[in-house]
Chains A and B, each alone.
Chain A
Amino acid sequence: MLGQAWLIPAFPIAAFLLIMVCGRFEPLRSRFVSSGGWLALLGVGASSAVSLLVAWEVFTGGHTPYEQTWTWFEGATFAFEGGIYLDGLAALLLVVVGIVSFLVVMFSVGYMAGEGERRIRYYAEICLFVGVMQGLVIANSFLLLFIFWELVGLCSYLLIGFWYEKPSAASAAKKAFLVTRVGDVFLLFGLVILFNTFGTLRYSELFADPALLAEHATELKWATLCLFGGAIGKSAQFPLHFWLPDAMEGPSTVSALIHAATMVKAGVFLVARAYPLIVHSPDTALYIAITGGFTAFIAASMALVMYDIKRVLAYSTISQLGYMFLALGAGAWAFAHTGGDAYAEAHGYTAGMFHLLNHAFFKALLFLGAGAVIHAVHTQDMREMGGLRKAMPLTSTAMGLAVLSIAGVPFFSGFWSKDEILAAVRHNGEAEPIFALLWMMALATAAMTAFYMTRLWMMTFTGPPNAKAHEAPAVMTVPLCILGALAVISGFAIFLGDGFASYVHYGYLVHQDDWVLLDHILTASGTHLSVAAALGGIALASLLYYRSPTQAERPERARFILDNQPTAWLHHFLTERLYISRFFDWFGLRCWDVGAAACNRFDLAVIDGAVNGIANGAIRSGERLRRLHTGFTGHYASYSLGGLGALVILLRVVLPLTGWSP
């Protein structure tokens, strides 16, 4: 089956081409495509089935990566080999993308039912996205990854701008494209450095010789920093995080698939992919951890005050991605500082990837649930929602499970992975005080996550019953239920077989005894702290935002925040998104203005000045010289006689005196 892995991207791309081509011509369209939904479902479904089979084979087939190459183009000194590279990391992403993409496309059939002929465009773009995302996952070199990286960026742009006639959607699409492009330039720089240093971009060749990598520590430091720059853009980390909340202008299904479960994970995937390089540069690892921890903290703080249901989820996504980077950075740092120990392991790596798996399920579920809610009440503002629990029992239950999961309530999936991350960071904190600080920030983030997620659920679903809303059709609720089940159980993957770490790990693999691990997790003081933080957040949010079915008015308990000066100021500061977006707007406009003014001044003074100066000089000298033309012949004669005399004096007197002879 591994040899047929190329089918994974091929199926959705074939579906994309079929929908695009047949969708354009009338008899073909009504006969074969109609809205494109079933073709998309077929293409993505086939791809998901193959990807699950391939992942199964990778997970059960031992630990050597499988690679299949063919020559793409050849030069005099270099042949570029495209191909497929499958290891535990790629297989994990195949599982995530395979499951989530199929469920999202299924959900789309119900969610997009009212969009008419535009659905053809929607399904074509979704298919293209799934194809290139799977291609990104199984690519065998950084160059191939970069190509797919740009293609998923294109799909993201197209789908954010799906309702392009809305100015806000069009500008959000542009913003997402341009901001991620900043990161992509860094990524390209990183690839150039890598290629110049090592002469190849294929994973298997790059990672083959750790001694050679260790020799080029300086080059690797810059290369990995640049690669991480690309990840910052794609995964919306500080300071390039502000495009993701605006990307919520697209349909909710797009947010669920692209901006929560898959594409934004590409940055995490890139860092995990480049792990053999990053472990040689502790500086990069530290920088990744700091960026991740800081982003997780500020994004969670901004999610506290948002009223737009999808924006809360967007900030939550940024925050959780920050968690993953924190874990990866902590793992690489620990690995680098054990100093090439043969028994070194990167615990943070496994933790980060585990969180990626769990987050994909519960965040896709939250976005799809938000989509179902928006579908029912036609607004995104949580202040206008409420009381949907009776009307939408399945949706509210599924979203409730996701909330408990992301908040880190014990035995839900988020609990296991978040706890692993906190443990990895805390472990580093014993050696490096920065990690102790990051651990405290991560713990605060966990509390805030529990708070804003509970707030979201309480504002949306509790309160007097909303009679007008009704549950979504089965095609939408079935994916919600499947994802709800996954959000509960995916965390138990930590006990699967020889443990999650035996499938996706970096470095030396420690044999895991499930009962010892469980005992360790349940008795560690870090676990108790994070559970206390989660339960505290949930309790506080329930207290502030819960409404009983008979309570028509919103509870006034949260009023005290706006009534007190310091908290009101803080609230405003968070509502304004820490002024980061404003700062970039101001900075951009400022640069633009200053540059334009300088150009204007240069144009007026130098270019126009030269042209006008020459012209004015000619006019003025002409004005003066024309006075010589008196019209009196005597004057002309005297000029020529005077000239003759001057010439004679010059030739016979002045020049001989200076020593010149004719």
Chain B
Amino acid sequence: MIPLLHYVLFSSALLLIGGYGVVRNRNAIVVLMSIEIMLTAANVNFVAFAEFWHDMAGQVFALFVIAIAAAEVAIGLAILLSLYKQRDTIELDMLDLLRW
């Protein structure tokens, strides 16, 4: 039996890695992937605590998150595709129309 603390440390590590990826990366697709990693961190927490408290609601919630993340990725990729058609780039630091 793996103690709960390990799950929590693992998910925290995933969240930090995903956050680092979101903040540091210039490629929009990699940013989307980093967001997926952060969502996965949340899912790990849901499942771990569901097991810990013997409550299945957490696992159901994790399934919902996966479904919604899939929809989000689909929309995000569609936006990136049309953005690439318009601006010929998906480098985030080139997309600064609303800069001061």
Establish whether residues B22 and A637, one from each chain, have CB atoms under 8 Å apart when the complex forms: yes
The answer to whether A633 and B100 touch (CB under 8 A), given A638-B23, A641-B19, A641-B23, is: no
Interface residue? B88 (CB, 8 A) = no
A629 CB contacts on chain B under 8 angstroms: 98-100
Residue of B nearest to A628 (CB): B100
Establish whether residues A634 and B92, one from each chain, have CB atoms under 8 Å apart when the complex forms: yes
Establish whether residues B22 and A631, one from each chain, have CB atoms under 8 Å apart when the complex forms: no
Interface residue? B1 (CB, 8 A) = no
Interface residue? B51 (CB, 8 A) = no
> A635 vs B24: C-alpha distance in the bound complex, in angstroms?
9
Chain B residues bordering chain A, tally (CB within 8 A): 15
**Which of A626, A628, A631, A641 has a CB less than 8 Å from the CB of B96?**
A631
**Which of B22, B25, B99 has a CB less than 8 Å from the CB of A630?**
B99
Establish whether residues A627 and B25, one from each chain, have CB atoms under 8 Å apart when the complex forms: no
Interface residue? B55 (CB, 8 A) = no
> A635 vs B22: C-alpha distance in the bound complex, in angstroms?
10
Establish whether residues B22 and A632, one from each chain, have CB atoms under 8 Å apart when the complex forms: no
Q: How far is the CB of A260 from chain B (nearest CB, A)?
A: 84
Residue of B nearest to A645 (CB): B19
Residue of A nearest to B19 (CB): A641
> A628 vs B99: C-alpha distance in the bound complex, in angstroms?
9
Residue of B nearest to A641 (CB): B19
B97 CB contacts on chain A under 8 angstroms: 631
> A634 vs B95: C-alpha distance in the bound complex, in angstroms?
12
The answer to whether A633 and B19 touch (CB under 8 A), given A626-B100, A627-B100, is: no
Establish whether residues A633 and B99, one from each chain, have CB atoms under 8 Å apart when the complex forms: no
B26 CB contacts on chain A under 8 angstroms: 634
Establish whether residues B98 and A637, one from each chain, have CB atoms under 8 Å apart when the complex forms: no
Q: How far is the CB of B96 from chain A (nearest CB, A)?
A: 3
The answer to whether A637 and B99 touch (CB under 8 A), given A632-B92, A632-B93, is: no
Establish whether residues A631 and B23, one from each chain, have CB atoms under 8 Å apart when the complex forms: no
**Which of A626, A627, A630, A634 has a CB less than 8 Å from the CB of B23?**
A634
The answer to whether A632 and B100 touch (CB under 8 A), given A637-B22, A641-B19, A641-B23, is: no
A631 CB contacts on chain B under 8 angstroms: 93, 95-100
> A630 vs B96: C-alpha distance in the bound complex, in angstroms?
7
A633 CB contacts on chain B under 8 angstroms: 31, 92, 95
> A631 vs B98: C-alpha distance in the bound complex, in angstroms?
6
Q: How far is the CB of B61 from chain A (nearest CB, A)?
A: 20
> A632 vs B25: C-alpha distance in the bound complex, in angstroms?
10
A627 CB contacts on chain B under 8 angstroms: 100
User: Contact string, B70-100, partner A, CB cutoff 8 A, digits 1/0?
Assistant: 0000000000000000000000110111111
> A455 vs B96: C-alpha distance in the bound complex, in angstroms?
99
Among A627, A633, A635, A638, the one with the most B-chain Cβ atoms within 10 Å of its Cβ is A633
Establish whether residues A634 and B24, one from each chain, have CB atoms under 8 Å apart when the complex forms: yes
> A629 vs B99: C-alpha distance in the bound complex, in angstroms?
5
**Which of B22, B98, B99, B100 has a CB less than 8 Å from the CB of A634?**
B22
Q: How far is the CB of A646 from chain B (nearest CB, A)?
A: 14
Residue of B nearest to A630 (CB): B99
User: Contact string, B39-77, partner A, CB cutoff 8 A, digits 1/0?
Assistant: 000000000000000000000000000000000000000
A637 CB contacts on chain B under 8 angstroms: 19, 22-23
User: Contact string, B11-48, partner A, CB cutoff 8 A, digits 1/0?
Assistant: 00000000100111110000100000000000000000
Among A626, A632, A635, the one with the most B-chain Cβ atoms within 10 Å of its Cβ is A632
> A627 vs B93: C-alpha distance in the bound complex, in angstroms?
15
> A598 vs B23: C-alpha distance in the bound complex, in angstroms?
59
> A626 vs B26: C-alpha distance in the bound complex, in angstroms?
22
> A641 vs B23: C-alpha distance in the bound complex, in angstroms?
9
B31 CB contacts on chain A under 8 angstroms: 633-634
Q: How far is the CB of A631 from chain B (nearest CB, A)?
A: 3
Q: How far is the CB of A625 from chain B (nearest CB, A)?
A: 9
> A638 vs B24: C-alpha distance in the bound complex, in angstroms?
9
B92 CB contacts on chain A under 8 angstroms: 632-634
> A634 vs B18: C-alpha distance in the bound complex, in angstroms?
12
> A631 vs B22: C-alpha distance in the bound complex, in angstroms?
15
B23 CB contacts on chain A under 8 angstroms: 634-635, 637-638, 641
Q: How far is the CB of A409 from chain B (nearest CB, A)?
A: 100
> A387 vs B96: C-alpha distance in the bound complex, in angstroms?
104
Residue of B nearest to A633 (CB): B92
> A631 vs B91: C-alpha distance in the bound complex, in angstroms?
12
> A628 vs B98: C-alpha distance in the bound complex, in angstroms?
11
Establish whether residues A634 and B96, one from each chain, have CB atoms under 8 Å apart when the complex forms: no
Residue of A nearest to B31 (CB): A633
> A627 vs B99: C-alpha distance in the bound complex, in angstroms?
8
Question: What are 8 inter-chain pairs, A to B, with CB distance below 8 A?
Answer: A628-B100, A629-B99, A629-B100, A631-B93, A631-B95, A634-B22, A634-B92, A637-B19
Nearest 10 pairs between A and B by C-beta?
A631-B96, A631-B99, A626-B100, A629-B100, A638-B23, A634-B23, A637-B22, A633-B92, A632-B93, A637-B23
Known pairs A631-B96, A632-B92, A637-B23; list 17 more (Cβ under 8 Å): A626-B100, A629-B99, A629-B100, A630-B99, A631-B93, A631-B98, A632-B93, A633-B95, A634-B23, A634-B24, A634-B92, A635-B23, A637-B19, A638-B23, A641-B19, A641-B22, A641-B23
A residues contacting B by CB (< 8 A) are 626-635, 637-638, 641
